Amino acid sequence: MEILKSLVTDLFQETPIEITKLPQSGSPRVYYRISFHDRQPVIGVYNSDVKENEAFFGFTESFKSNKIAVPEIYFIAPDRQYYIIEDLGDVTLFEFLKQDRTPDGLGEATIEWYKKVLEELPKIQLLNEQDIDFSLCYPRAAFDRQSMNWDLNYFKYYYLKLVHAPFDEQELEDDFNKLIQFLSEADAQYFMFRDFQSRNVMLHQDKPYFIDYQGGRRGPLQYDLASLLYDGKADIPESTREELYYYYIDQLARYIEVDKAEFETHYIGFVLIRIMQALGTYGYRGYYEKKSHFLQSIPYALRNIRYILRNKTLPISIPTLWNLLYFISKEENVPLSSEQSKHLTITIQSFSFKVGIPTSESSHGGGFVFDCRFLPNPGRVPEYREYNGTDYCVQEYFSQYDVVEQFKKSVEEIVVMAVDNYIEREFQQLMINFGCTGGQHRSVYFAEWLTKILQEKFPQIQINLNHIQFPKLSKRFVPKE
């Protein structure tokens, strides 16, 4: 954070007034919103994977020169690990469709946004060697047999095995190879965005902007369309999905000749491999890394598989894989997801040790008490005495100390592990207390911080935030979904 603060201060000749870490998704990249008094905020990014960064930098330059709406890059640090980009706001296509959803499906405004996106998709896909440097593609130059094999093994090891699905290993490998051979027959000389989904489309200045394309590579046209239209939690109704599919075909036909029958035959195969890749990701992040909010997407992905199995066919015989997909998509075989956590309420409190440690009113007792008194105390600094842990000046004070960041990291690891366990065991209450001398600065600051962390990681749970010494600051956070 301090490095980014120094970079933007030098770049814009203005010290930022606030630097806020943004919610992290599945990637290791870390994003910060950096705000100023006299200019629009920007986004600071840290990513230690320099090759991935170089792909992002190069693709951005190519997209901009071909009038594809992507964020401006303002600055790249000499180490190529830190960079500053345009802030496109907070409204993704996914966030918009959640608010615009109707009892019958997607709202008309959302459908129009999807059509705008599909008008742009062929422009991205048809970029060629004169437009874009394909040597930057990372970690793989093309979505080839090796890439498909990686995705299918990801599905096997991080979903099928983790949910204990029964299968014959060799027979499944044989079917994987048949599917890969079939998909390899599709024309794959196009630019493939790779993760073309609603969370990677920003709605800004009345047009769609695209982000997170650093995984782009050569590939087939069908894959990105499958990624967008079978985006799990977007939950697009089938009638709308069909409408958008044909809208894309019409847009593509403006640029190249399209064999519609051949395109659709391979499209269904790419839908399946995309869903299987996504299930591997959900399993790895949810079951293996214990990030339970990824598990919320599993029922949507399995619902899409059920639709494909009932309504579509492939011109190849893959009985073991087909039967296995039937098995995992049955309602009784859908694994428990973090929807269980609707029953969990977390109470987070700040308190003063002078008053005493709060007692738990839950039926099973338990929880955490974190003693913040060993940390730097802004209460001893005259200029901060009248403020509390919710004030920016106090937050800025804490940001100067490495020990504060170390404490945060330790607390987050312990609490997240406990919350995942409580969800699995269907506990209903968890209390987490932060105490300091006066219950004004340190304890309030850490209670507020942890509330934001848990809201990001477990958006479906209820959180009660209670500042015992400052009750006017207390809040009750209800599930977002």
Within this chain, do residues 108 and 48 fall inside the same structural domain, yes or no? no
Within this chain, do residues 345 and 331 fall inside the same structural domain, yes or no? no
What per-residue confidence (pLDDT) applies to 338? 44
**370 CB contacts (<8 Å, ≥6 apart)?**
411, 432, 433, 434, 435, 446
Within this chain, do residues 345 and 307 fall inside the same structural domain, yes or no? no
Within this chain, do residues 327 and 427 fall inside the same structural domain, yes or no? no
What tens digit of pLDDT does each residue of 241-298 get?
Answer: 999 999 999 999 999 999 999 999 999 999 999 999 999 999 988 877 767 678 878 9
What per-residue confidence (pLDDT) applies to 163? 87
Which positions of the chain have pLDDT values less than 70? 26, 290, 292, 336-343, 361-366, 460, 478-481
What per-residue confidence (pLDDT) applies to 343? 65
Q: Which of 45, 70, 86 is at the close of a domain? A: 86
Structural domain of residue 50, as residue ranges?
A: 2-86
Residue located via tokens 């830190």: 82
Q: Which of 42, 58, 86 is at the close of a domain? A: 86
Q: Are 350 and 468 in contact (CB under 8 A)?
A: yes
Within this chain, do residues 367 and 472 fall inside the same structural domain, yes or no? yes
Within this chain, do residues 278 and 295 fall inside the same structural domain, yes or no? yes
Within this chain, do residues 350 and 263 fall inside the same structural domain, yes or no? no
Within this chain, do residues 387 and 445 fall inside the same structural domain, yes or no? yes
What per-residue confidence (pLDDT) applies to 425? 73
What tens digit of pLDDT does each residue of 159-208 get?
Answer: 999 888 999 999 999 999 999 999 999 999 999 999 999 999 999 999 99
Within this chain, do residues 70 and 103 fall inside the same structural domain, yes or no? no
Within this chain, do residues 386 and 292 fall inside the same structural domain, yes or no? no
Within this chain, do residues 349 and 376 fall inside the same structural domain, yes or no? yes
CATH assignment of the domain containing 57: 3.30.200.20
Within this chain, do residues 315 and 453 fall inside the same structural domain, yes or no? no
CA distance 399 to 417: 25
What per-residue confidence (pLDDT) applies to 481? 47
What per-residue confidence (pLDDT) applies to 105? 86
Number of domains making up the chain = 3
CA distance 183 to 272: 11
Q: Which of 61, 86, 111 is at the close of a domain? A: 86
| Contacts by 279-285, CB closer than 8 A, 24 or more apart | 279/155, 279/159, 280/151, 280/154, 280/155, 280/156, 280/157, 280/158, 280/159, 281/26, 281/154, 281/158, 282/159, 283/158, 283/159, 283/162, 283/163, 284/154, 284/158, 285/26
What per-residue confidence (pLDDT) applies to 272? 98
Q: Helix (H, G, I), strand (E, B), or coil: what is residue 146?
A: helix
